[in-house]
Structure 1
């Protein structure tokens, strides 16, 4: 028999294992390539409104790489573990280490090549469909699908690095293992190296303590903006506690169960079998828990952001369109405005007068203080209030939402201007969002009565301006009109002298004077959060599928040993019905414990982050999104469980 004939006979004999191993690698290539078609799409990088998208996509990309590394390595380890006896037998028949190396390289080389080819072909087909669904759902139908060298090279390179590393580890373990160990590998169970109920209790306590510390120390009153270091420390502690708990919690639970003898002896076989499984599958259960936690939390958070885009845009832009007009820039007549918005008529047009004054700070060198003054009459028209401001007084008007209010300001203790010649007294501070976010940099507004405004303007004004605030019939249909306004203003500004921008040289004239609109911000945020949400949905589908395969590999890789074990139990009097209940109970715990644990941890992080928006009870949509995502996750996992249960019973001939 030639060497090639031997390989072919071994492949036919183990065709089920080869096919499953090949499919695992092929799926890994396909999923990575599908993600690469989005991450490396040139148009996404080129479109100006999406400049931050590529960095955002790196987050699920890192998760995908970590998962792929573990997935390929684990599939390879399961594939080769039960073939060690074959290698030992071949060695007894005279095959040298060199021949074993050659055998492993040939079969793995063929599988790798086939996986790359089929994975890229399938990825090309499905990525086209995925790309269309993703972009159209995110409102980005103008971004075309294309393939590039980077997509193929990064996919092939990443796969080969992980695959070759796994093969190298297998070669090392095979060649340096004794012949007797290889021959009896299928009769040796994984030893339980540590059994410590005390350590299990410590792990559970560490998880609970870390969760509580994270809740009370992150985003609290003394730290309203959050603290990345606090989040990192307690997250690492929580994950460390999870690993210990998953490894030793069953030992802890068994120790507790021993105090209730009837329950313990009735469930003895079930509990001891689960303890062995938990210790054997600690790494897999940990990965499934973390995947579930990240998937549910990340997808829920992005879905909440995506669905809340309109509300956020309306808060940031009280008016549909806004732009700043100076003495020489953005000059446009009412007639021209009406013409531009003819198809979507203007319902309201409010003009607010302003002037700016800059002065060196008396205490800090090279620091320039900015002051933006507004007349009281315009403030009344803007806010609808009837506030009275006396001579020498001012209202400090914070144009922002109260929850975003910062610390103390130079405007809150009265003002002394022009080297002490002008004194103004603070009457009150008002925090309201009334003016759109503008590219034109303006300080918070100082509202004075009209007489004081005229006096101060004549004496201090360096740059006079007006803010135009417009509402139209349908702001979601104003994109074309807003683009027309931008073009009209740009054409006019190009025919006037350059704008004096000495205080804000980091901004170009075009950037400063560009109109602000709800529709532009809405489209930009929908594009960004839309891509992030749908990519995270794709990663979620991958993780759901991958977690099932990891559990499936472990459950069914030892099917022959389990079959022998249950056959022996049947011989000593355990009935077939009792064995079926035992198997169903084990599978139920293995398939639901880690997902439910991951769901609980994800909910805890959602509660922690919801504190920044008033708490989970103040944001019912946040909670509803969590229930939707978690529900879908658990429904899919339930389908996995029933499929695995039927397959297990059929394999063990218990049906």
Structure 2
């Protein structure tokens, strides 16, 4: 028999294992490639609005790499573990180590090549489908689907590195283990290295303590802005406790069950079998729990942010369009402005006069204070306020939401200007958002009487400016009009001398004088949020599917040993119905324990982060999004369970 004939006969004999192993690797290539179609998309990389997204995409990318490394390595380990007996038998018949290496390299090389070809093909098809469905549903139709050499190159390279590391480990274990160990590998079960109920109780206590400390110490009154270190420390402690609990919790549970003898003896077989499974699958259960937690929390958070984009934009932009006009820049007549918004008529156009005065701080060297003065009449028209102010007094108007405005300010202590020649008294603070944020203007204004404004302007001002605030019929349909306005202002500005302001040297003229609009911010938020939501959905689908594959691999990789175990139980009097109940109970725990635990931890993190927005009860949409994502996740897992249960019963011939 030639070497090639031997390889072919072995492949036919183990075709089920080969096919399943090939599919796992093919899926891994497909996962890499589908993610690469997003990460290396030209629109995402090149378009200015989306530049910040590139770094954000690295976060789920790292999660994908970690998962795939574990996924490929575990699939390969399961594939080769039950074949070591074959290699041992071949070595007893005279096959050399060189021949074993050649055999492994040939079969794995063929599988790798086939996996890459089919994975790339499937990835191209399904990534196109994902773009059509998710990008359009997320309002991201302007991000086109395309393929590039980078997508193919990085996907193949990432897979090959992980794949050949796994093959190298297998070669080492096969060649450097004793021949006896290889021959009896299919009859040796995994040993339980440690059994400590006390350690299991400690793990449960550490998880509970970490969750409580995270809730009470993150975003509390003494730390309103949150603390990344607090989050990191208690998250690490929680994950550490979680691993210990998963490893030893069944030992702890058995110890508790022994105190109730009738229950313990009635469930003895079930409990001891689960203890073995939990210790054998600790790493997988940990991975599935963390995947579920990250998937549900990350997707819920992004969905909440994405769905609240419109509300946030409206709050940040009191007016649909706003721009600053100086003596020489952004000059456009009312007639020209109305012509631009002819199809989407202007409903309101408010002009706010102001001037800036800069002065060195008397106490801090090289610090320049900026004072922006606004006449009282313009402030009253802007806010609808009836506030009054006398000469020599000023109102401090902080154009910001109250929750974001705080701390000491120089404007509330009275002002001494023009080298002490002008003294003004503080009267009152008004904190509310009335003007869109723009690069040229600050959020702090000093409101003075109209006559006082004229005197100060003549004495202190180097030039008066105006803020134009515009509302149109429908701001969501104003994208083309806003772009036309920007273009018109740029054309007009090019005919005037360059705008020089030493205090804004870090900004270009175009950036400094650019209009602010709801639609531009809305599109930016929808673009960035839509892409992140798309990526999180993709990662979620991957993790949903991957968690099932990992559990499926382990449950069905030992099917022959399980069949022998249940056959022996049947011989000593355990009925077929009792065996069916035992298998169903084990599968329920294995398929639902980790997902439910991950869901619970995700909900805890959602409650913690919701404190920043007033609490979970004040944000019902946050809770609703969580229920939706978690419900879908558990529904899919339920489908996995019934499929696995039916197949398990059929393969064990218990139906």
TM-score range, shorter chain: over 0.9
* Deviating more after overlay: 599-608 vs 401-410: 401-410
Give the length in aligned residue pairs.
655
Q: Is the 8 A contact 1:352 1:378 kept in 2?
A: yes
Structure 1: how far apart are the matches of 2:291 and 2:359?
55
Partner of 2:432 in structure 1? 432
Q: Secondary structure at the match of 1:331?
A: coil
Partner of 1:207 in structure 2? 207
Structure 2: how far apart are the matches of 1:178 and 1:213?
50
Q: Secondary structure at the match of 2:420?
A: coil
Partner of 2:602 in structure 1? 602
Partner of 2:142 in structure 1? 142
Partner of 1:622 in structure 2? 622
Partner of 2:339 in structure 1? 339
Structure 2: how far apart are the matches of 1:406 and 1:157?
51
Q: Secondary structure at the match of 2:328?
A: coil
Q: Is the 8 A contact 1:134 1:531 kept in 2?
A: no
Q: Secondary structure at the match of 2:524?
A: helix
Structure 2: how far apart are the matches of 1:451 and 1:250?
81
* Deviating more after overlay: 619-628 vs 119-128: 119-128
Q: Is the 8 A contact 2:400 2:443 kept in 1?
A: no
Partner of 1:465 in structure 2? 465
Partner of 1:454 in structure 2? 454
Does 2:466 match 1:442?
no
Structure 2: how far apart are the matches of 1:423 and 1:599?
62
Partner of 1:380 in structure 2? 380
Q: Is the 8 A contact 2:85 2:182 kept in 1?
A: yes
Matches within 5 A, 1:264-303: 264-303=264-303
Q: Is the 8 A contact 2:398 2:443 kept in 1?
A: no
* Deviating more after overlay: 370-379 vs 275-284: 370-379
Structure 1: how far apart are the matches of 2:400 and 2:576?
70
Query: Gaps (5+ residues) in structure 2?
Result: none
> How much has 1:407 moved relative to structure 2?
2.0
Partner of 1:554 in structure 2? 554
Structure 1: how far apart are the matches of 2:199 and 2:614?
37
Q: Is the 8 A contact 1:207 1:242 kept in 2?
A: yes
Partner of 1:5 in structure 2? 5
Q: Secondary structure at the match of 2:507?
A: coil
Structure 1: how far apart are the matches of 2:34 and 2:612?
35
> How much has 1:443 moved relative to structure 2?
4.4
Q: Is the 8 A contact 1:303 1:533 kept in 2?
A: yes
Partner of 1:365 in structure 2? 365
Does 2:318 match 1:351?
no
Does 2:582 match 1:582?
yes
Does 2:419 match 1:419?
yes
Q: Secondary structure at the match of 2:57?
A: helix
Matches within 5 A, 1:561-572: 561-572=561-572
Structure 2: how far apart are the matches of 1:441 and 1:183?
79
Does 2:632 match 1:650?
no
Structure 1: how far apart are the matches of 2:318 and 2:653?
68
Partner of 1:195 in structure 2? 195
Matches within 5 A, 1:205-244: 205-244=205-244
> How much has 1:449 moved relative to structure 2?
1.6
Query: Gaps (5+ residues) in structure 1?
Result: none
Q: Is the 8 A contact 1:479 1:519 kept in 2?
A: yes
Q: Is the 8 A contact 2:346 2:470 kept in 1?
A: yes
> How much has 1:142 moved relative to structure 2?
2.8
1:33-58 CA-partner distances (Å, limit 9, x unpaired)? 01101110112221122121211211
> How much has 1:439 moved relative to structure 2?
2.5
Partner of 1:174 in structure 2? 174
> How much has 1:587 moved relative to structure 2?
0.2
Q: Secondary structure at the match of 1:52?
A: helix
Structure 2: how far apart are the matches of 1:522 and 1:229?
32
Partner of 2:323 in structure 1? 323
Structure 2: how far apart are the matches of 1:422 and 1:264?
88
Q: Secondary structure at the match of 1:51?
A: helix
Structure 1: how far apart are the matches of 2:191 and 2:80?
19
Partner of 1:495 in structure 2? 495
1:291-329 CA-partner distances (Å, limit 9, x unpaired)? 000000000000001100000000010111100111111
Partner of 2:15 in structure 1? 15
Q: Secondary structure at the match of 1:423?
A: strand
Structure 2: how far apart are the matches of 1:387 and 1:452?
16
> How much has 1:452 moved relative to structure 2?
1.8
Structure 2: how far apart are the matches of 1:238 and 1:463?
59
Q: What root-mean-square deviation, in Å, do the aligned CA atoms of Structure 1 and Structure 2 show?
A: 1.0
